[in-house]
Amino acid sequence: MMWGTIATWPFSLQAVEKAAAVLQKNGTAMDAAEQGIHLVETDLSIESVGRGGWLNADGKLELDAAMMNGDTLEIGAVAGVQHYEHPVSIARAVMEHTRHNMIIGKGAESFACSMGIKAADDTYMIPENIRKIWQQNKENPIGHDTIGIISVDQNGTVVSATSTSGANGKIPGRVGDSPLVGSGFYADSQIGGAAATGLGEDIMRTCCSFRCVQLMASGMTPQQAVETVVRTAHEAILAHGRKPDCIALVCMNKHGQFGAAANHTGFSYAVCTENHPAQIIGVSPLAGCCIDCFVPEINQTVKGEDGI
Ligand code: GLY
């Protein structure tokens, strides 16, 4: 079977390269997605995921993450987790070692401890410069981005996984789309997977990831499916008297074909498949539904435009 992996934002190139190395050696999609996300969770230069991520209104780092196994439709998710560098691994443990789908806050932290997952203290998780930036910007916080990754392994297993610190300056306890199945992520190995980034509140309103996988099941190509989802989500929000915020989606079907779409400028993603080298690809906003919104710092060179 064709292997492949795709993830949101240029900062995910390192995750895609790692996941691709696992998949190439016939590793599992689960290990590929988890090990890829680990790099982004640890990287202090990425301001919206894991260690060094956006702080909440009380100056605390609360992390959300999830993982879905498309073979079994098993889900593991955590929300509002503090003091753990790798929330995606707690999410995986929820999926593999409990009868539940989601555990939040202190319950998730106790569960992680019981599973032998190593905790980290605040000085490691929140470096001083991050706290200073939070102090400077706390009256006007912006930003809300996620690593969402889909991996398809050589056995045909499709996994979708996410990790984020959620919205910058969020009310403590706020949960976004990233740990919510169907909104931030979805995977079905008979079809494919999808993952979202953007303002969680709008992605939740429109259940973007589940809809994207269903549209692929109905016969759309991955690119047709993501474009349809982002466009209809944007239009539905407008039609209900609301101003849409950022919505972007990536998806990959079980054959390793992929797509991406956004309702804003500045979105790009990283992808690698058996016959497509690891690359960052820029996405033009959908015609007729383009808004201005905050996008994270892009350090890597964007190498293509809609290069699918
Ligand atoms: N999409 C990330 C969040 O809104 O929490």
Closest residue by Cα to residue 76 from 21, 33, 36, 13: 33
For residue 36 and ligand 1, the question of a CB distance below 6 A is answered with no
E strand or H helix at 151: strand 147-152
CA gap 167, 173 in Å, rounded: 11
Predicted local distance difference test score (pLDDT) of residue 189: 98
CA gap 143, 17 in Å, rounded: 25
> Is-catalytic flag, 98?
no
Which parts of the chain fold into alpha helices (H)?
13-24, 29-42, 87-97, 105-114, 122-125, 128-137, 200-206, 208-217, 222-239
For residue 163 and ligand 1, the question of a CB distance below 6 A is answered with no
50: helix, strand or coil: coil
For residue 266 and ligand 1, the question of a CB distance below 6 A is answered with no
**Burial track 269-298 (b if 16+ CB lie within 10 A, e otherwise):** bbbbbeebebbbbbbebbeebeeebebbee
CA of 150 to the centre of ligand 1 (A): 17
CA gap 47, 30 in Å, rounded: 24
The CB density around residue 98, as the number of other CB atoms within 10 Å, is 13
Closest residue by Cα to residue 247 from 308, 306, 204: 204
CA of 168 to the centre of ligand 1 (A): 9
- C-beta of residue 31 within 8 angstroms of C-beta of residue 69: no
CA gap 57, 189 in Å, rounded: 39
For residue 80 and ligand 1, the question of a CB distance below 6 A is answered with no
CA gap 116, 253 in Å, rounded: 34
Among 144, 204, 208, 246, residue to substitute to test ligand 1 (most atoms within 8 Å of Cβ): 144
For residue 179 and ligand 1, the question of a CB distance below 6 A is answered with no
Predicted local distance difference test score (pLDDT) of residue 297: 57
The percent helix, strand, coil of the chain (3-state, each to 5) is 30, 25, 45
- C-beta of residue 158 within 8 angstroms of C-beta of residue 254: yes
CA of 133 to the centre of ligand 1 (A): 20
Structure-block tokens of residue 71: 């073979």
Structure-block tokens of residue 206: 């429109």
Q: In order along the chain (308 residues), what is the average pLDDT of each group of 10 residues?
A: 96 98 98 98 94 96 98 98 98 98 98 97 94 89 90 98 96 98 98 98 98 98 98 97 96 98 96 97 93 60 34
Among 147, 178, 205, 295, residue to substitute to test ligand 1 (most atoms within 8 Å of Cβ): 178
The vertex-115 CA angle with 27 and 168, nearest 5°, equals: 85
Report which protein residue has its CA nearest ligand 1's atom 4: 200
Q: Which of 5, 8, 146, 197 is catalytic?
A: 146
For residue 178 and ligand 1, the question of a CB distance below 6 A is answered with yes
Q: Helices 208-217 and 222-239 sit at what angle, rounded to 10 degrees?
A: 140
CA of 217 to the centre of ligand 1 (A): 26
Q: Which residue reads 């079907």 in tokens?
A: 253
For the chain, the structural domain boundaries read: 4-282
For residue 144 and ligand 1, the question of a CB distance below 6 A is answered with yes
Residues paired with residue 198 on neighbouring β-strands, in sequence order:
247
Mention the CATH class of domain 4-282. alpha beta
Structure-block tokens of residue 28: 């599992």
Fill in the amino acid letter for 217: A
